Amino acid sequence: MSYEDKRQTREYLPPRKHFGQELRIAREAAGLTQAQLGEGVVCHATLIAHFEAGRRMPRPEDAQRIDKVLGTGGRFHRMLHILEEAKYAAHFREAAEAERLATAIFEYAVSLVPGILQTAEYARAVYRSGEPNPNPVRMGELVKSRTSRRELLSNPETPVVWVVVSEAVLRTAVGGSAVMAEQLRDLARLMRADRIFLQVVPFSAGAHATMGSMMTLMGFDDAPDLAYVEGVFTGALFDDPHLVRKLRQSYDLTRAAALPPAASLALIESVAEDYENDC
């Protein structure tokens, strides 16, 4: 099913809410109260209420008992994989779904390496910068979630990925010199392997059309293009053709102001070498 078909056939719900809604529907169809289901699952009715409200998620063994009591054939145990969606911030979840289905992805980044291209240590440094008291376990989960998006690059042909970044992305020492050297060398490797196209907008270019925020444009074989624009703790996915067209125009103007790919690669490798010399 295409992304557009999915959007037309259901209202998007956060994964926990979706799981809870399906559990409530199945329980009521079985004619059971929360207390009765709790008895079969060997837990209190209030825990079932938390499951249905999306506040808590069952352990795998609890989900197996739920399936046994409701006769759902392993459905809720299998549905636990939807929790993986919760690894993304709420404002990015629908965009993450679209990203997996896109055949072409065009990114502009104003200050950070785009998430799809971040190394683990770079991603860790980004997350740590926003956490006054970072939890090591949670931090590991966030980093794993972020870097799992790189799996989209495992196919050598699709999606087409074209990235334009401000020179500030190269010059901002996220995580220190060693982390930046590794990150920039990784970008160069992807470029030399012809897996991504990447251009840098140098500081000398001055003002350009997308300098105000990051932007992602996504193309599909069987659905209209989408655009995603993100700020601090916020983001919005747009499907209005007129707005998407205007954002694409802004992206193209910025791409025209950027260095050609070969010159961009040379700059990236030069800055990476500077970071390596600082280590």
pTM score, whole prediction = 0.70
Residues 170, 246, single domain; the answer is yes
CB 236 within 8 A of CB 229: yes
Residues 81, 98, single domain; the answer is no
Whether residue 36 is contained in a domain is answered as yes
pLDDT one-digit tens code per residue, 19-29? 899 999 999 99
Q: Is the pLDDT of residue 100 over 50?
A: yes
d(CA 270, CA 186) in angstroms, rounded, equals 13
Residues 226, 93, single domain; the answer is yes
CATH number where 75 lies: 1.10.260.40
Whether residue 107 is contained in a domain is answered as yes
Q: Is the pLDDT of residue 93 over 90?
A: no
Whether residue 154 is contained in a domain is answered as yes
Residues 203, 99, single domain; the answer is yes
Q: What six digits make up the tokens of 246?
A: 């205007």
Whether residue 265 is contained in a domain is answered as yes
List Cα–Cα distances, 152 to 60, 221, 251, in angstroms.
28, 16, 22
Instruction: Categorize the per-residue pLDDT at 78 as very low, low, confident or very high, splitting at 50, 70 and 90.
Output: confident
Mean pLDDT for the stretch of residues 157-174: 96
Q: What pLDDT, on the 0 to 100 scale, is given for residue 166?
A: 98
Q: What pLDDT, on the 0 to 100 scale, is given for residue 1?
A: 42
Domain end position, chosen among 34, 66, 86: 86
CB 177 within 8 A of CB 278: yes
Q: Which of 131, 126, 117 is closest to 162 using CA atoms?
A: 117
Residues 66, 172, single domain; the answer is no
Residues 57, 111, single domain; the answer is no
pLDDT one-digit tens code per residue, 218-259? 999 888 899 999 988 788 889 899 999 999 999 999 999 999
Whether residue 153 is contained in a domain is answered as yes
Query: Which residues lie closer than 8 Å to 177 by C-beta, 6 or more apart?
Result: 275, 276, 278, 279
Residue 82 belongs to domain spanning = 3-86
Residues 56, 162, single domain; the answer is no
Q: Which of 262, 115, 88 is closest to 183 using CA atoms?
A: 115
How many structural domains are present in the chain? Answer: 2
